[in-house]
């Protein structure tokens, strides 16, 4: 990679880390906001689902707009809108305002995350792609997971204080992107597919049918199942351990901070090596198995330290799954990268919409139901990896 490419990627990584950091500050304070404003677990699930729903709906629209206005303006405006959403959440006193803030958060994610991912894919070679995807996943996942730990520490000042900080981080990242990203006239920004969601809407489905193989069908099924199970586990975790295992704010912040540190180390220093050593399919298989074991321990083990260790197993497995699935998907076809990435994001968004709603509803009914439900989907995902492994071997022998 040239120095210019590295500089651009660094700016994108910095901004993506900050925006994801702010997005995830809500998780450790969820049980305390729920209790203070007398919300139900389903209400909290709706907040999480609104984020994913708006991201899913807005992505193709934003994709079309960005074809006209350019990539840099979309990134800058996405960051600014994120900052505004965090300030709205900090000021909110009613459920509809909390929901509005999360919806606007989803709009900002639709503007920033796919655009930054497409930008990084466009300016890197296939040789460097797994490495860069690992970096992006580390920034994305690291922000999402370090955010709860930071939010837990900041919440000692006030439950709303983390969101003021998130808004300020959003403003900082807006200035960084506006100042240091090159204009769209730069040669590095020229690509055949600017927005994968736009390609998906403008004739993409016919192209998808042409390139669809049993391996791709299986992989897309696993993407949906995995995102559904992941969203179902993550969205209610702080509510669950607070109400069932009596975790206080310090304990929640501790486990999420430890997880963030370990996740960053895994993705930055070991992800590429694990892919080379095990291959994508076996790495996914082991990750699903570890997450299943950890989920069962969270349900039935009542020792706080055991639960913390089990949680780390689950989260680290999930954080390896994201980049592994994305890396495998980019290898499925040398063309139509934008189309495949668009389907990936669409299926992930659908899982992120449904998962929190069902988990929140089930938590109101019975504390164990949500994680029983998640365990079923993890088992299904593990079985799919077995099918995928056989199909890849069959394809290699043809």
Query: Could you list the mean pLDDT of each consecutive 10-residue stretch along the chain, which spans 398 residues?
Result: 78 82 75 84 85 80 69 87 92 91 88 75 67 72 72 81 88 88 59 44 53 70 76 80 84 78 78 84 89 90 88 85 76 60 71 84 87 87 83 68
The pLDDT value given to residue 191: 45
**Phi-psi domain of 94 (left: phi exceeds 0; alpha: psi -120 through 50; beta: other):** beta
The pLDDT value given to residue 199: 45
Among residues 7, 24, 11, which one has the least CA distance to residue 82?
A: 24
Count of structural domains within the chain:
1
- N- to C-terminal Cα distance for the chain? 35
Rounded CA-CA distance 343/207 in Å is 12
| Structure-block tokens of residue 112 | 């920033």
Instruction: Provide the H-helix boundaries in 188-279.
Output: 196-199, 205-211, 214-235, 237-244, 249-265, 271-278
Domain range for 252: 3-397
Rounded CA-CA distance 197/343 in Å is 8
Rounded CA-CA distance 357/351 in Å is 10
Rounded CA-CA distance 9/135 in Å is 9
Confirm if 275 and 283 have CB atoms less than 8 A apart. Answer: yes
User: What's the pTM value of the predicted model, to 2 decimals?
Assistant: 0.69
SS3 at position 247: coil
Q: Scanning the structure block, which residue is given the tokens 């580390």?
A: 138
Q: HEC string of 272-323? A: HHHHHHHCHHHHHHHHHHHHHHHHHHHHHCCCHHHHHHHHHHHHHHHHHHHH
Rounded CA-CA distance 253/257 in Å is 6
The pLDDT value given to residue 141: 66
For the domain that residue 307 is a member of, what is the CATH number?
1.20.1250.20
Give φ, ψ of 318 to 5 degrees. Answer: -60, -40
Rounded CA-CA distance 302/239 in Å is 15
The pLDDT value given to residue 225: 76
The pLDDT value given to residue 212: 63
Number of other CB atoms surrounding residue 3 within 10 Å: 7
61: number of CA atoms within 13 Å, CB side?
Answer: 9
Sign of the Cα pseudo-torsion (252, 257, 258, 259, in order):
positive
Confirm if 341 and 325 have CB atoms less than 8 A apart. Answer: no
Surface-to-core class of residue 185, CB atoms within 10 Å of its CB (0-12 exposed, 13-18 middle, 19+ buried): exposed
Rounded CA-CA distance 311/250 in Å is 15
The pLDDT value given to residue 200: 43
The pLDDT value given to residue 83: 92
Sign of the Cα pseudo-torsion (340, 344, 345, 346, in order):
positive
The pLDDT value given to residue 100: 93
Number of other CB atoms surrounding residue 28 within 10 Å: 32
């Amino acid at each position: 990679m040239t120095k210019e490419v590295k500089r651009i990627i660094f700016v994108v990584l910095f901004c993506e880390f900050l925006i994801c950091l702010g997005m995830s500050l809500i998780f450790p304070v969820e049980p305390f906001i729920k209790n203070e404003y007398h919300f139900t677990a389903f209400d909290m699930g709706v907040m999480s689902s609104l984020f994913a729903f708006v991201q899913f709906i807005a992505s193709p629209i934003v994709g079309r707009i960005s074809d006209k206005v350019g990539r840099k303006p979309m990134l800058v405006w996405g960051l600014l809108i994120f900052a505004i959403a965090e300030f709205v959440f900090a000021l909110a006193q009613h459920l509809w305002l909390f929901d509005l803030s999360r919806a606007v958060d989803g709009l900002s994610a639709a503007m920033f995350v796919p655009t930054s991912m497409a930008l990084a894919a466009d300016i890197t070679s296939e040789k460097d792609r797994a490495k860069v995807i690992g970096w992006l996943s580390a920034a994305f996942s690291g922000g999402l997971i370090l955010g709860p730990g930071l939010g837990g520490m900041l919440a000692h000042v006030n439950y709303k204080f983390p969101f003021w900080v998130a808004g300020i981080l959003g403003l900082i990242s807006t200035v960084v992107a506006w100042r240091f990203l090159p204009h769209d006239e730069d040669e590095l920004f020229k690509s055949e597919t600017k927005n994968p969601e736009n390609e998906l809407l403008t004739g993409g489905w016919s192209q998808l049918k042409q390139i669809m193989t049993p391996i791709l069908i299986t992989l897309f099924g696993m993407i949906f199942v995995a995102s559904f199970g992941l969203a179902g586990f993550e969205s209610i975790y702080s509510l669950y351990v607070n109400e069932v295992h009596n975790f206080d704010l310090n304990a929640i912040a501790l486990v999420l901070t430890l997880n963030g540190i370990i996740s960053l180390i895994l993705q930055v220093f070991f992800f590429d090596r694990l892919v080379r050593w095990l291959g994508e399919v076996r790495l996914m298989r082991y990750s699903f198995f570890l997450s299943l074991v950890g989920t069962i321990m969270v349900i039935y083990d009542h020792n706080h330290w055991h639960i913390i260790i089990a949680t780390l197993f689950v989260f680290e497995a999930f954080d390896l799954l994201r980049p592994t699935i994305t890396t495998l998907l980019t290898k499925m076809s040398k063309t139509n990268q934008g189309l495949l990435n668009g389907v990936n994001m669409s299926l992930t968004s659908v899982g992120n919409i449904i998962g929190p709603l069902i988990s929140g509803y089930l938590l109101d009914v019975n504390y164990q139901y949500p994680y029983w439900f998640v365990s079923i989907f993890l088992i299904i995902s593990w079985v799919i990896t077995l099918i995928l492994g056989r199909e890849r071997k069959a394809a290699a022998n043809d």
